[in-house]
């Protein structure tokens, strides 16, 4: 997601670098620093109330949770946000991606581009193709 916001900002003429993107992790620190896979899942279980509360708060307002990259005033941020039914991201499903541009021309109604993201299958096939390519190069 950080690469996507960097590419879009750069294409729009902003000299952004990876360290310029502020990322609020989706997972709590204890999950990120778990020493093993089983420990990671244990930490997820311990933090279940945190996630349930986030979801309940959003649903109580008629909103949905989305992991969003945002660029405004030369600042790029990425993090979990609660969006209402008026927000273009509200209807996202599955591996879909959406980019919403609010500009001088599209001030009242943003320009929205929506389509399928890579998803697990396409990403896995890309990784497999890279492995095969590297393997044939090394052979």
Dihedral of alpha carbons 52, 58, 63, 65, sign: negative
Contact predicate 40/31, CB 8 Å: yes
Q: Say which residue the tokens 């993107």 belong to.
A: 21
Would you call 107 a catalytic residue per the annotation?
Answer: no
Selecting among 4, 61, 75, 114, the annotated active-site residue is: 4
Mapped onto helix, strand or coil, the DSSP state of residue 87 is coil
Beta carbons of 101 and 110 less than 8 angstroms apart: yes
Catalytic (active-site) positions:
4
């Amino acid at each position: 997601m950080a690469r996507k916001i960097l590419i879009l900002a750069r294409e729009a003429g902003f000299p952004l670098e990876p360290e310029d993107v502020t990322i609020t992790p989706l997972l709590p620190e204890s999950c990120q620093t778990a020493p093993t896979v089983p420990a990671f899942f244990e930490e997820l279980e311990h933090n279940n109330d945190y996630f349930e509360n986030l979801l309940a708060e959003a649903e109580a307002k008629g909103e949905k949770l989305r992991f969003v990259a945002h660029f405004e005033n030369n600042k790029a941020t990425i993090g979990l946000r609660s969006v209402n039914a008026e927000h273009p991201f509200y209807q996202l499903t599955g591996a879909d991606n959406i980019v919403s541009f609010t500009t001088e021309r599209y001030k009242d109604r943003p320009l929205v581009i929506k389509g399928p993201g890579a998803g697990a299958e396409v990403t896995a096939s890309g990784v497999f193709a890279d492995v095969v390519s590297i393997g044939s190069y090394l052979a």
